[in-house]
Structures are given as structure tokens and as C-alpha cells.
Amino acid sequence: MSEIWVPLGKLLTPQLQQNLSYLEFMIPELHQLAQNALASEALLFQNQEGLIRCRTDADPPQWIFGGENSAKELERIREKIQSAIKGASLVILAGSAAGYAIAEIIPAILSDSSLRVVAVEPSAARIRAYLTLLDARTALDTGRLHFVVGEMSVKGLIEAIRPFHLWEYENVSLYRSPEIAEISEGEFEEHYRKECEIARAQRFAVLASMNPVSHESGRTIERVLLLNCWPGAPGEAHIQAIHRALQARGVKSAVLPFNRYRIEGQGDEYRRLMEPRLLDALEKTRPDLIVSYGYHGHQLAQRDLFAASGAVWLQTVSNIAYYDTEFYHAEHTALIDRHLISIFARRGAPHPFFAPLMADYASPRPMPTNRQFPIVFVGNSLGLSPQAASEFFNRWRGRDGLLDYIKRAETALSAFDPDINLYQTMSAEPPPQIGGLEEEYAVFRYLLCQGSAARRRRLLERIAPLGLVLFGGDWANYLPPDSPLRGCLRGHLPLRDEPKIFSHGHIFVNIHSVGHVTGPNMRFFNAAGMGGFQISDGPEFGVYYEPDSEMIYYRTESEFAERVRYYLAHPQEADEIRERARLRTLRDWTYQRWIDWVCGEIGLQAPPIRQKETL
């Protein structure tokens, strides 16, 4: 038996690193709690014959697990957990015996989709302990396992449940770990039932008090709620740009953050979790208009809440929402490519219409550049790693017709040709042997990613020796080891730093995805708005910036390389073009124009601009 006691801070296990990496994106608040946990309580651990004993570093020490016969204690824990789980839809763990109760709970959560668990601990250190000893990612990914610090009392447990909005369950069970003081199960259940009644009454009262606003055509918007589902990602830049544009018009606007990973992965569980915050925002804001980017109303709110809000709901989406099939009545969908309109209409979207992206930021003054970076590309490859591509093809094993289709379509899309795009390819010859919309979207996404990545690689490798600087977070996983682009990589460019890059670059090259056909990508407008000289594909985008006067376009790979070389040698000509593009952006392509564009589509009006925006 080992006599060595190891402090929690010295336990740096692979499980901890994996859990923390997961939590950083999925549950940032739990990630922060675990990072700061060591100061909350001093815990010591000992490995005894394959079991982990745990105690506090106090005088005298409090045994959390393993103070007597470890094997017998573990058996008692298992018996109590199995008893608590049986027939329960909600289990509250008051202390988890250094993770042994959680170890029993994880497989139960994965096998029973009706089971939800809240693990309440007296200190953050105890939560970090089982993140250190157990891989909790699969259970956390369900959205049905929650960790929280709380007081070990009936009142404390009720308060611990409150953030998770778990008030609709009939079969509730309480587990107390051995070191936790006695808590009356009857008293807990009584308090829980009362809280359920209160929560239902409060929800009903809030919905009833919303007093839906009038939907008459031409009404001027006064209050807007923006749902930011993309913190730290490009979608956030659009939401913040709309926010600034509304404020410049005197429209009261508020931003409510959501987590896109949890929207996609946890569905109804995350929608339930976010409902109190959404209700609070609706009650305080009383919006005329609700705007989200990337997700429709059914993914964010229950139907009765959507209806009671009385607001016009506007969803602006790219091809990431290609597979949506559920829409609430009177919901509006702004699409960044006209090809998506017919697709969304077939799937039941009440009002799909085209509205291009516009400049998230634009400089009111000319922007000098030191030309530190001769050529700049900012953007991901979009390509899959070799392992991910292999897993994709393995999925279709046995469907030879579909595999042949995917390979032919990928080859066609990979060759740079502005006249060949994803929508045209899939409509001219729909994929065979497809079993439903989800599989169709999987093929769509693969071709979007691999076709776009191949085009970007082909074009960028032609100019790599000329001084290319490449920003993007996924290139290292996509590129082969011998690609000349590896010497150009500068890694991910944080969103907050993107506007600064325009004071360092000479030529900004733009290569659209195979899914951007009638609506340009965000770089197209952002580079121009910040006075960046841009060489872009998409000559049909001349309706946005005048060819050769405000933007330089190319139609072939050789023309791309020729134009890059020419303007490297003629910086004065580039300066004149980029200044005209900046002025055109300020006049026509900021989110002020976008607000008027979409309001015209959805039958609303926006008040005139009262003040200048700031970046």
C-alpha cells in the first residue's frame, strides 16, 4: 500500500487536460471554476490497491472516501447510487465521494436519455477532483450532467438546482455521500415540489405579461434583442456590428450570449437551460425585433415563448443551417446566398430572402499601411484533416454509387473555376443512395469543406514564394507535410486583432468557398472597409465594388498570380483602388445599409441615423 498523499494541485492527469479542453468551449463557467478551484479547499489523495482515497488537509483530516475499508465503502456507494437512479428522472448528488458516485452515474446517463443529474459539492476543489480522475466529456456532452458548488443543506441543494431550471420532473431522487451530514429526503422533496409550482407560476406570469406588440406593416423598431450564438467567432462580429448600427440610430438594443456548440450538441437540454436568461432578457427589453445568426427560433426558445414575445424574429444564416427543417410561424430567414432561398422554401421556411453580409467595421479615415506583409490571406482552409476525411468515407462503405459521386464532385469542385459551384453540382446531379436530409447535409458539408480547401490551397501555393502571410486556425491539420504554405502559417488571428492587420498588409487576397456564389464572404467587405487593397475571385461581385476601380477580380489561376505580381510592383495604383473601396463601403456596405435592407424585407422601419458609429 502506498503511503504517499498527493495534493490536488499536483494531480495533472490526461483526464484533467481533456476535460478542461472540452469545458473551455462547451461550458466556460465550469472551466473557470475548475481552474480557480485549488484555493477553495486543500485535498489530498492516495492510491490504495487501485482505489483512490481522499481526505482534507485539515486537523483532524476529514475523510471523503476510504477512511475505513475502501472496498466495503465503495460497495455501499454503488448500492446507494443504484438505488437512487432506479426509476428517477432527476438525481441530486450531495457530495460524490471523490468521484466514485460520478463514476457510477456516467454510464447511467449515457444509457438512459431521461436521466438528469446535478452534482452539488461543498467546494470547487472537489469538482476539480473528479475532473482530474474521470473523463466526464461524454456525459457532459449530453447536457444532462451538471456540476455546482453549494451548501450541504436542503436550502443549499434547492439553490444549486436553480441555475439549471430543472423544475418539471416527477421522479426526483437524492443521494448523500458518506461524509455529508444528514439531509432529510422528505424535507428536500417537499421544498422541491414547492419550487416547481413557483417556477411554473412565474413562467406563466412572465409570458402572460409580455403583451405582444403589434405586427402592423411599417412599424418603426424601438427595441431589439440580439442573440449572440458565436462568442469569439466570426458570427459575433456581425452581431456586434448590428448592435453598434442600431445604437447609432437611437434604437435600444441588448445582446444575450448563447453557446453554439451546446445549441448543436444538446438541443432541448440547452434550450431549457437558457430559458430563464431568455425570459429575463425579453421581460427587460420588450423587443420589437429579435435577431440571431446561425440558428432558428425552435433551437433557441419553446414555441409558447416564441409566440408570447410578440417580437418579429429574424434569423440570418449561411450554409451552416442548410439542414434546418423546423420553423416557427412568421419567422424570417435572411440568407447570404440566393441559391439557399429555394432550398429553405422547400423545407418550410415561412419567409426566406437574400441579404448579403456587410462590413463589420469600416474606417472613417484613410488607412496607411507599412506593407510589412506583402500578401495576406485571413481565413481557415475549411478542409478536413486526413483522419476526418477517412472517417467520412468509411461511413459510406458499401454504397459504391455514392462514393463514386462524392469523389467525382470533389474533383470537379477542387479545380478553380468560378462557373462551378456547390449548388449547381448537387442540383444538376443529386447524390444517389442517400437516406434522408442528415445524410444529404453530411455530403453537402464535406464537398463544401474539401472543395473550398483545395481551391484555396491551389491558388495560395502559386503565390507563396512572393511573400504570403497566412492566418487561420485549421491549416496545419489540413496541409500535407510538403506544402510550401507551411512556411507561411501565422496561426489563428483573434477576432479582436483582425482590424489591426490592415495597417500591415499590402495585398489582401480573397478566395471564396464553393458555397459563396451570389453573396460575398465577410473578408470581402471587411478588407475593403478598413482600406485594404483586395484581389478577389467572384467577378460577378462587381455589383458590390466596381471592377478595376474599387476591387481587382480574377477568373483563372494564372490571372490571379499575374495580378498579385503586378500590384506588388505598383503600390501607388493599389493605394488609389483601396481608398475608393473604403469610401464605397462607408457609403453602401456597412450594417446601417443592412438594417434598412432587412427591415424592408420584413415590413419594419428603422429610425434614421443620429450619431456616428465607432469601430
* Mean per-residue pLDDT of the chain: 92
Q: How do strand 172-176 and strand 90-94 relate by DSSP bridges?
A: parallel
351 vs 334: CA distance, rounded Å? 8
Cell 457510477 found at: 104
Percent with pLDDT over 70 in the chain = 97
C-alpha cell at 518: 451570389
What confidence tens digit (pLDDT) does each residue in 226-241 have? 999 988 888 899 999 9
Q: Which amino acid is at 594?
A: W
331 vs 227: CA distance, rounded Å? 15
Average pLDDT over residues 15-37: 95
Average pLDDT over residues 423-442: 91
Cβ contacts of 45-52, under 8 Å, gap ≥ 24: 45/5, 45/6, 45/7, 45/8, 45/11, 45/98, 45/129, 46/2, 46/3, 46/4, 46/5, 46/6, 47/2, 47/4, 48/1, 48/2, 49/1, 52/98, 52/99, 52/133
- β-bridge mates for residue 94, sequence order: 120, 176
Least confident of 83-87, 207-211, 512-516, 558-562: 207-211
- β-bridge mates for residue 314, sequence order: 291, 332
C-alpha cell at 104: 457510477
Look at residue 98 and tell me whether its pLDDT is greater than 90.
no
- Pick the more confident residue, 376 or 103: 376
What confidence tens digit (pLDDT) does each residue in 340-363 have? 998 889 888 999 999 999 999 999
Helix, strand or coil, per DSSP, at residue 48? strand
Look at residue 146 and tell me whether its pLDDT is greater than 60.
yes
Cβ neighbours for 56, distance < 8 A, ≥ 6 positions apart: 41, 42, 43, 44, 62, 64
Helix, strand or coil, per DSSP, at residue 315? strand
133 vs 226: CA distance, rounded Å? 40
161 vs 121: CA distance, rounded Å? 12
Q: How do strand 312-317 and strand 552-553 relate by DSSP bridges?
A: unpaired
- Pick the more confident residue, 209 or 109: 109
57 vs 7: CA distance, rounded Å? 9
Average pLDDT over residues 34-58: 90
164 vs 144: CA distance, rounded Å? 10
475 vs 472: CA distance, rounded Å? 6
Least confident of 46-50, 173-177, 297-301, 574-578: 46-50
User: For position 1, what pLDDT does the model report?
Assistant: 39
363 vs 376: CA distance, rounded Å? 19
Look at residue 130 and tell me whether its pLDDT is greater than 60.
yes
Average pLDDT over residues 125-131: 94
- Pick the more confident residue, 324 or 96: 96
C-alpha cell at 273: 437551460
Average pLDDT over residues 559-569: 98
- Report residue 428's pLDDT band, with 50, 70 and 90 as the boundaries: very high
- Report residue 614's pLDDT band, with 50, 70 and 90 as the boundaries: low
- Report residue 596's pLDDT band, with 50, 70 and 90 as the boundaries: very high
505 vs 503: CA distance, rounded Å? 6
Average pLDDT over residues 99-126: 93
